[in-house]
Chain A
Amino acid sequence: MRVLVTGASGMLGRRTAEALLARGDEVRVLQRRPAGIDGAAEVLGSVSDRAAVDRAVRGVDGVIHLAAKVSITGPLPEYVEANVRGTTTVVDACRRAGVGRLVHVSSPSVAHTGSAIVGEGAGPAQPEHARGNYARTKAQAELLALAADSPGLAVTAIRPHIVLGPGDTQLVQRIADRARAGRLPLLDDGTALIDTTYVDNAVDALLAALDRIEHARGQALVVTNGQPRTVAEVFSAICEAAGVPAPARRVPSAVAKSAGGVVERAWTRLRLPDEPPMTSFLAEQLSTAHWFDQRHTHEVLQWSPRVGIDEGLQRLREGFAPA
């Protein structure tokens, strides 16, 4: 199969492209800066650049669309541009080029409206009620991607939850950096259960979605390891893997949420380059359970995680170890 992977500079995109190559697919990647993946043809450009995207989709059978702005702060227009316009551009380009399959990579946060998610399936994306700019724009993107599912173009949305793996700059590195700087508090007692996904499992699921798109089309599927853990344990385990001290400070989540909002607004207004230590979005994410019932996903994708969470953390530890 000829497959385009957008956003291959991130950990999940890169690993997805590599896995496609490894199984013999012809791979093209699209991102702004060179990803340097051996064997993949590269198109440089933004996903909201119609010309670049048209070039990238030409002649492919399927697209795995990962490119997005992922952050916890920043002005809304930047998110709209990357996540909403980017997805529209990809969808339109697929239509024009007659691409048959589109795997849209989404996020469980599109359906998270603040209350705990305890062992549920994938709820509907809620652009109005999801929390924070990232989740809202991703919710919008997911809806418009799934709306494009049609006889000529099969579309599915895969929502991997908190992808962990060696070389991750999204979460693992941030947690490790913050912990090292002493800026990683635990909210309340850190007892909220959250799902995580080891990167190899997420990659498998994306490939399964591409292959079984006839079964998965028109719906959103959450993908996790199916092994929820407490926030405190996830943080501590990541810190342990990175060789930094685990968070010891406990902050009441109510305080964090209100303080987070203030910090977030100031940060955005001051256009500071770094990320704020706490945002109300982050406070909510870290103090509310969100873990999922994976039975439907397993059935539709005929996929199940190969790497258990403990082995995943072990690999993470090895990833941090000096070579």
Chain B
Amino acid sequence: MVTSARGTAPAQLPPAGLPGLRPEWSRLVEGRDAEGQVRTWHVLDTGSPEDSRGTLLCLHGNPTWSYLWRDLLARAEGWRVIAPDHLDMGFSERTGTRRTLAQRIGDVRGLVAALELTGRVVVVGHDWGGVIAMGWAESVHGPGSRPDGIDLDGIALCNTAASHPAGAPPPGPLQVATAPGVLPLVTSRTDAFLRTALALTHPRPPAEVQEAYRAPYRTPERRQGIEAFVADVPTGVHHPTQARLDELAADLVHLADVDALLLWGPKDPVFTEHYLRDLRARLPHAVVHRFEGKGHLLPEDADVAGAVLTWLAERGRERAQPGGVPSEYRPLWRFLEERADSDADVVVEVRGGDDGPSVRRISWRLLHRRTTELAAGLAAHGVLPGQRVSLLVPPGADLTAVLYACLRIGAVAVIADAGLGVKGLTRAVNGAGPDHVIGIERALLAARALRWPGRRIAAGPISDAKLRLTGATTTLLEVAEIGARLLAGRDPADVLPPEPDPEAHAAIFFTSGSTGPAKGVVYTHRQMALFARAMGQVTRTGPDSGLVTAFAPFALMGPALGATCVVPDMDVTKPRTLTAAALADAVVAGGSSSAFLSPAAMANVIATAGDLDAAQREALAGVRTLLSAGAPVHPRLQQRAKELMPLAEPRTPYGATEVLPATDISLAEVLAAGEGEGICVGLPLPGVTTAVAPLDADGAAAEEVVTTAGVTGEVCVRAEHVKDHYDQLWLTQLASTRVRAPQDLGVGRWHRTGDVGHLDEQGRLWIEGRLAHIVVTGDGVVTPVGIEQRAETVDGIARAALVGVGPRAARQLVVVAEANEPVARTTVAAPPLARAVRAATGRDLAAVLLVPALPTDVRHNSKIDRARVAEWAERVLAGERGEL
């Protein structure tokens, strides 16, 4: 490649044979740059198809080139796709200048003019290409003006930034790159910067693709543009580009009427989630999808082309989602207001002690006062409607008060529980991007150490020194005191902000993450109220009834139902810590006759029943309603629970974080249903519709759902209390609602649960496993739960997981199990046991492997991670060593 001494060189065409790049796309285009100089660009251009819907203008960043967009060029049917190389980049002209952001935006304008591009244009940008895209979009779509005859039809951005705080150091690795003397060394004299960018991929692209990225940047002269790009990153207030960037960020308000898509790889050390939060705030109407586990070079890491095309196809349709007629709305805090003068208990906390349990009782009056004070105080502290507040406070009166305070002032409560594990919790909090974090000392220390975003408020007692250590600016106590001062002698309605709209976001919960990273689930106020009402129905909890709850999320629902919640002595984040005695003490303290447990809690209650004294036994014998949720509970276990609580008919609602509850079944009904393929979870609750989306031979679930008995498919649920959407997972949300239902099922919002199962003749739902865990064999699709249940009937098998190994056409079924007599290491079941399991399951299992323990989710300790088991079995049965 010829480069003159002054660092100029003409544009040229890329070499032939770069993977995925079609030579016919490449052309050289002459036009004028920002200064009006004639320049030549290398441009990839698919040309206009017939009936073109418009043009996708795709802008690469640094240090890539238009090659980044090859998938989009190949797949964007019905669109013309144009992807230029910026001047001094890729195969475009080497100008010998050092171009700034302002010039680059002008350059794109000049190129678009040279291309005589008009009409509908969707601009797509990555990295600094995203910044240029925003700048260009603003330049052609001013307030009320269309200077270039462009009809800006959308903007799609990946891992980029709209602003950078003036004076703040450049992000992450760029600090090193922009350090004095380092810049030319890493960017142009060597190709270290280029190599680093390619190394930030997950997984690394094939070597030929990496080579293609390097192709235009073989020599230091050809890399001058990379250096200039990095030098243009504002490193101080006086940097020439800082002002342009500030202007660009401020002008984003003019794009409020332009469809926007934000695609993000969170594992980006440069454009961290800070920049995503900033962009979301500036483009609040944007749809967002975070690709968990993916990084900076997102178009290589994830299917960005597919995401952009899906967005282009679906954006109109999404707005027209059927909602049905909204039902009556009663805000969650209404009971608190109505009972502001009641001295009856609303929360009862029981703590065990050597001299018997100690009990903390919170009256409606106290909770109302506390909630109102907190609401006023938080508003005064600067917690605004729509802002996210992460609540890292253990269930109990404090959490209840702060949650209802947040709800009342329209802040969005982010409820990530410790059941996600530290890693899952970090991912959840980071992903949700809270503006404020309210947490106990331990949580705030973690927030600081793990750099969770948000202003911090300490909950619970804390010393000044500790307060500084956590980085918190205030405590809940202070917040409440401020609130109390503001409220003194005034009507709360005059002090508090107006009640939030029923359709405003209220809270974000998280899925258990047993199949992939935990997903944030957003509920509106209306949906939360409906969810509370449905839970009240299924738990038989209403005004003035009492409920002992060892099921953390439900403890929060009591005040919304007018009910008294009793929190037993346990580590609520570890359900297994609930003992029978603690449950009995809670029943006595709350005078309640209902208990709501998780399966692990129920198991431990039964295991510790021997420690009960006579009074405690008597207390349990008075329990009339016993519920468990989160995962199926074996009838054997429920039977034993019933022996402790003979008046209770154990019930198990079925649902998901996205739609809870959906169905409900009693122990008697479980026993009456008998054996079948899977676990019977009963009939849908009133107002809920269940259907299945049949599976094809590849195990893919159809869009159409049926209610035909005996058809196995993905379980789909329609209910008013279905989630609003997944947080920043637009593609996942789209997939989870993509249901076509026959007319006789009526209209409303559907949720695809990711479970597989079938309906029986009576309309009962049977769960056969997770869609992600089905085994696709040459002979068809096999669902795991029924086979596992039959395997567990064999003497010696305690808990079983069914997985497949080998390539699909020859795939073999394998049972991996925990034995009744635990094994210390992986053991192949002896032939008699293997034969018994084959006979019981009716399957020609290639192997029955006994392992010390099956991996399960942290929250429920019951959902087996079959994907991990399958991956392990594949290796071990191929002859590799290693324990599960």
A complexed with B: yes
Q: Report yes or no: B812 in contact with A119, Cβ–Cβ below 8 A.
A: yes
Q: Contacts A190-B828, A233-B847 given: A289-B807 contact, CB under 8 Å? A: no
Cβ of A134 within 8 Å of any chain B Cβ, yes or no, is no
In the bound complex, CA of A188 to CA of B807 (Å): 24
Q: Shortest CB–CB separation between residue B806 and chain A, in angstroms?
A: 4
Q: Judge whether B878 and A189 touch: CB under 8 Å.
A: no
Q: Mark A225-241, 1 if CB is under 8 A from B, else 0.
A: 00111101100110010
Closest residue of A by beta carbon distance from B825: A189
The contact string, 1 if C-beta is below 8 Å from chain A, for chain B 840-884, is 000010110100000000000000000000000010111111000
Given A119-B806, A119-B812, A228-B812, also A193-B846 (CB < 8 A): yes
Across-interface contacts of A233 in B (CB, < 8 A)? 828-829, 831, 834, 847
Judge whether A192 and B812 touch: CB under 8 Å: no
Q: Flag if A119 contacts B877 (CB, 8 Å).
A: no
Smallest distance from the beta carbon of B883 to chain A beta carbons, Å?
9
**Most chain A C-beta atoms within 10 Å of own C-beta, residue among B807, B826, B844, B874:** B844
A295–B834 CB distance below 8 A: no
How many B residues face the partner with a CB closer than 8 A? 29
B811 at the interface (CB under 8 A from A): yes
How many A residues are at the interface, by size bracket?
Answer: 20 to 34
User: In the bound complex, do residue A294 and residue B810 qualify as a contact, i.e. CB atoms below 8 Å apart?
Assistant: yes
Q: Is the C-beta of B4 less than 8 angstroms from some C-beta in chain A?
A: no
**CB closest residue in chain B, given A239:** B831
Chain B residues with CB under 8 A of A119: 806-807, 809-812
Nearest B residue to A294 via CB reads B810
Instruction: Give, as a whole number of angstroms, the nearest-CB distance from A229 to chain B.
Output: 6
B121 interfacial by beta-carbon distance below 8 Å:
no
> Which chain B residues in 805-846 approach chain A with CB under 8 Å?
805-807, 809-812, 825-831, 834-835, 838, 844, 846
Instruction: Look across to chain B and name the residue whose beta carbon is closest to the beta carbon of A194.
Output: B879
**Could you tell me the distance in whole angstroms from the C-beta of B562 to the nearest C-beta in chain A?**
58
Task: List residues of chain A with CB within 8 A of the CB of B49.
Answer: none
A289 x B809 contact (CB < 8 A):
no
> In the complex, what residues of B have CB within 8 A of residue A118's CB?
805-807, 874, 878
Check B778 for interface membership: any CB of A closer than 8 A.
yes
| Interchain CB contact (< 8 A) of A193 among B805, B830, B844 | B805
- Inter-subunit contact A189/B807 (CB<8 Å): no
**A211 CB within 8 Å of chain B:** no
Chain A residues contacting B881 (CB-CB under 8 Å) are 188-189, 252-253
**Considering only CB atoms, which chain A residue lies closest to B838 in the complex?**
A310
Across the interface, do A287 and B807 meet the contact criterion of CB distance under 8 Å?
no
Query: Chain A's nearest CB lies how many Å from the CB of B65?
Result: 39
With contacts A188-B881, A228-B812 taken as known, whether A293 is within 8 angstroms of B807 at the C-beta atoms is: yes
Q: Mark B795-807, 1 if CB is under 8 A from A, else 0.
A: 0000000000111
Residue from A236, A292, A293 within 8 A of B830 (CB atoms):
A236
- Kindly supply a per-residue 1/0 record for chain B positions 461-498, scoring 1 wherever the CB is within 8 Å of any chain A CB and 0 otherwise: 00000000000000000000000000000000000000
Bound Cα distance from A293 to B830, whole angstroms: 26
- Tell me if B828 and A191 are in contact (CB < 8 A): yes
Chain A positions within 8 Å of B806 at CB level: 118-119, 291
A188 neighbours in B (Cβ, 8 Å) = 879, 881
Residues of B within 8 A of A197 (CB): none
Determine the distance from Cα of A228 to Cα of B826 in the docked complex, in whole angstroms: 19
Closest to B830 in A: A236
B877 nearest CB neighbor, chain A only = A193
Closest to A308 in B: B844
Most buried by B among A119, A246, A288: A119
Which chain B positions have C-beta within 8 A of A189? 825-828, 876, 881
Check A289–B778 contact: CB distance below 8 A: no
B878 touches A289 (CB 8 A): yes
Pick the contact of A288: B809, B831, B874, B879 (CB < 8 A): B879
Across the interface, do B805 and A295 meet the contact criterion of CB distance under 8 Å?
no
Shortest beta-carbon distance from A52 to chain B in Å: 42
Please measure, in the bound complex, the distance between the C-alpha atom of A246 and the C-alpha atom of B834, giving whole angstroms: 15
Candidate in B831, B877, B879 with the most chain A CB atoms within 10 angstroms: B879
Q: How far is the CB of B534 from chain A (nearest CB, A)?
A: 47
Contact B877 A295, beta carbon cutoff 8 Å: no
Say whether A44 faces chain B, with CB atoms less than 8 Å apart: no
For residue B808, give the distance in angstroms from its CB to the closest CB of chain A: 9
Whole-angstrom distance between the Cβ of B240 and the nearest chain A Cβ: 59
A230 touching B830 in the complex, CB below 8 Å, given contacts A119-B812, A293-B810:
no
Complex Cα gap A120–B807 (Å): 8
A116 within 8 A of partner (CB): yes
* Complex contacts, A120 vs chain B, CB 8 Å: 807, 810
Q: Cα distance A211–B270 when bound, in Å?
A: 68
How many angstroms between the C-alpha atoms of A283 and B811 in the bound complex? 25
In the assembled complex, the Cα of A43 lies from the Cα of B383 at a distance in Å of: 99
Task: Given A188-B879, A229-B846, A288-B879, verify A295-B809 contact (CB < 8 Å).
Answer: yes
Chain B proximity of A1: nearest CB distance (Å): 33
Instruction: Tell me which residues from 94 to 127 in chain A have a Cβ below 8 Å from any Cβ of chain B.
Output: 116, 118-120
Shortest distance from the beta carbon of B836 to any chain A beta carbon, whole Å: 12
**Which A residues lie within 8 Å of B831 (CB)?**
233, 236-237, 240, 313
Nearest Cβ on chain B to A307's Cβ, whole angstroms: 13
Nearest-Cβ distance from residue B776 to partner chain A, whole angstroms: 13
Residue of B825, B831, B880 ringed by the most chain A CB atoms within 10 A: B831
Do B807 and A230 touch (CB < 8 A)? no
Interface string of A40-62 (1 = CB under 8 A from B): 00000000000000000000000
For window 156-193 of A, CB contacts with B under 8 Å fall at 188-193
Asked whether B810 lies within 8 Å of A230 as measured between CB atoms, the reply is no
Is B877 a contact partner of A191 (Cβ separation < 8 A)? yes
Contacting residues, chain A, for B830 (C-beta < 8 A): 236, 246
Report whether A191 and B826 are in contact in the complex, using a CB–CB cutoff of 8 Å.
Answer: yes
A80 to chain B, nearest CB (A): 30
By beta carbon, the residue of chain B nearest A237 is B831
A288 → chain B closest CB, angstroms:
4
| CB within 8 Å for A289 and B810 given contacts A189-B828, A193-B846, A230-B828 | no
Contact A191 B849 (CB under 8 A): yes
| 9 contacts across the A-B interface (CB closer than 8 A) | A118-B807, A188-B879, A191-B849, A227-B844, A233-B829, A236-B831, A240-B831, A289-B877, A310-B838
Other CB < 8 Å A-B pairs besides A193-B877, A252-B881, A291-B806, 11 of them? A116-B878, A189-B826, A192-B878, A229-B847, A233-B834, A237-B831, A253-B879, A287-B879, A288-B878, A288-B879, A310-B835
Give 3 closest A-B pairs by Cβ, nearest first: A119-B810, A119-B806, A192-B879
